[in-house]
Amino acid sequence: MRRRLAPAALLLPFALLLTACGGDASAGTGTDGSGSVTLDVGDQKGGSEAILRAAGELEDLHYKIKWSTFTSGPPLLEAVNAKAVDIGGVGNTPPVFAAGAGSKITVVAAWHGTSRGDTILVPNDSPLTRPRQLKGRSVAVAQGSSAHYQLVASLKAAGLSLADVKVKYLQPADALAAFTSGKVDAWAVWDPYTSQILQGRQGRVLTTGDGITNGLTFQVAAPAALDDPKKAAAVKDYLARLRRATAWVHDHQEEWAKVWSKDTGLPYDVALASVKRTNSTRIAVAIDKPLVASEQRIADAFSALKLIPRKVDFADFVDRRFNGGLPPSTSPGKG
């Protein structure tokens, strides 16, 4: 397999893989199950449905699942707010923006992993060697994404702010094209884009989110679905299956990478690198006070920047009923 891919070759599969930024939904597909309840689940290509199927967790369902595929977190949460979707998975920042917009959403489950796949990338020939040198430079990032907060936090750690850089709000497909054509100096992004650029030798890491961001991902539900006892029971079962499937990845990294590669069009080496760096580090954790406090810091940062329209009390947007005996949110990932 060629190690260097032309930018055009990268755009199609990765337009399907956005895990934290904007995009549209595609038509829903069904998963057969018994019973009269249908759970409408928002997903992303190569996301929850793929991992549940690979781990054998879509068997013997006592409800039906209707899948709707989104390219990202923000539009998925718009669908949750509109009651078009009962539940779906997003990164650590989209819920903050949704809450700030007054959306009706509830965080019901969390996973914690490392943030090494969350990076600020620069071209191989860039003169930049440390984050402080980003001052005055152009940086591509998806607005409202986990990378957006990573950029804010990384700049702050370097003694800078968003005002010190030229922020280019671009969705990943456009950001990828801008980055590989030299139209921006840096790109704040997440896996699998990080792995794509590194495996293709088209850039290098200036800094990562490790120790900067919280490494959290969430399942977010519509309050109306949680108020329906039958749907709430289906949500509880769905979350249990998703937690088992995520744990399955830890010991089946190569197997999952093959499935993910086939499902998304990712080159296998890129998929495996992303699995090893990011996906296999995630463990299910409780929604607890430290988690809420960590997300509150993200909300406060964006509120101070006036990038969300109102102050958010993140505790108002969580439901702890599905915590069970999960470890605390401060538990380290497996990576």
Residue 333: how many CB atoms within 10 A of its CB? 18
Q: Is residue 326 part of a domain?
A: no
Residues 199 and 221 in one domain: no
The residues with which 139 forms a beta bridge, in sequence order, are 167, 186
Q: What is the pLDDT of residues 71-82, one digit of tens each?
A: 778 889 999 999
The answer to whether residues 112 and 331 touch, using CB atoms and an 8 Å cutoff, is yes
Domain match, 203 and 260 both: no
**Within this chain, do residues 109 and 219 fall inside the same structural domain, yes or no?**
yes
Is 139 inside a domain boundary?
A: yes
Q: Do 42 and 98 form a contact (C-beta atoms < 8 A)?
A: no
Q: Is the peptide bond before 123 cis (omega within 30 degrees of 0)?
A: no
Claim to verify: residue 96 and residue 221 sit in the same structural domain: yes
Cβ distance 192 to 270 under 8 Å? yes
The pLDDT of residue 54: 92
Domain final position from 161, 176, 208: 208
Mean pLDDT of 205-215: 93
Residues 283, 262 share a domain: yes
Q: Report the alpha-carbon distance of residue 184 to residue 198 in Å, rounded.
A: 17
Identify the weakest region by mean pLDDT among 164-173, 224-233, 272-281: 272-281
- Looking at the fold, whether 180 and 140 belong to one and the same domain comes out as yes
**Inter-residue contact 332 to 280 (CB < 8 Å):** no
Q: Which of 179, 208, 237 is the last residue of a domain?
A: 208
- Decide if 329 is inside a domain: no
Same domain, 154 and 272: no
Residues whose CB is less than 8 angstroms from the CB of residue 237 and which lie 6 or more positions away in sequence, other chains included: 61, 62, 63
Please determine, for residue 14, whether its predicted confidence score (pLDDT) is greater than 50: no
CB 317 within 8 Å of CB 107:
yes
Looking at the fold, whether 157 and 306 belong to one and the same domain comes out as no
> Given a cut of 70, is residue 12 above it in pLDDT?
no
The pLDDT score that the predictor gives to residue 172 is 86
Check whether residue 303 and residue 227 sit in a common domain. Answer: yes
The CATH number covering residue 286 comes to: 3.40.190.10
Say what the pLDDT of residue 4 is: 33
Q: How many domains does the chain have?
A: 2
pLDDT digits (tens, 9 = 90+) for 236-265: 999 999 999 999 999 999 999 998 898 888
Position 26 scores a pLDDT of 42
The model's pLDDT over 93-126, given as tens digits with 9 standing for 90+, comes to 999 999 999 999 999 999 998 888 899 999 999 9
Residue finishing a domain among 186, 208, 230: 208
Residue 268 pLDDT grade (very low, low, confident, very high; cuts 50, 70, 90): very high
Band (pLDDT 50/70/90 cuts) for residue 70 is confident
* 186 & 231 share domain: no
The pLDDT value recorded for residue 252 is 95
CA proximity to 56, closest of 264, 231, 255, 233? 255
- Residue 7 falls inside a structural domain: no
61: which residues sit within 8 A by CB, 6+ positions away?
31, 32, 33, 34, 35, 237
Domain range spanning residue 104?
A: 16-114+215-317
* Interior angle at CA 23, CA 19 and CA 24, nearest 5: 115
- Read off the pTM: 0.85
What does pLDDT average to over the chain?
A: 88
- Which among 235, 221, 213, 316 is positioned nearest to 61, based on CA atoms? 235
pLDDT at 45 over 80: no
* 261 plus 175 within the same structural domain: no
pLDDT category at 16 given cuts 50, 70, 90 is very low
127 and 85: one domain?
A: no
In a domain, 10, yes or no: no
Closest to 114 measured CA to CA, from 1, 249, 286, 282: 282
The confidence score (pLDDT) of residue 288 equals 96
Mean pLDDT in residue range 301-325: 94
Q: How far apart are CA 249 and CA 173, in angstroms?
A: 27
Residue 325 resides in a domain: no
Asked if residues 221 and 319 have their Cβ atoms less than 8 Å apart, the reply is yes
Assigned domain for 335 exists: no
- Residue 129 covered by a domain: yes
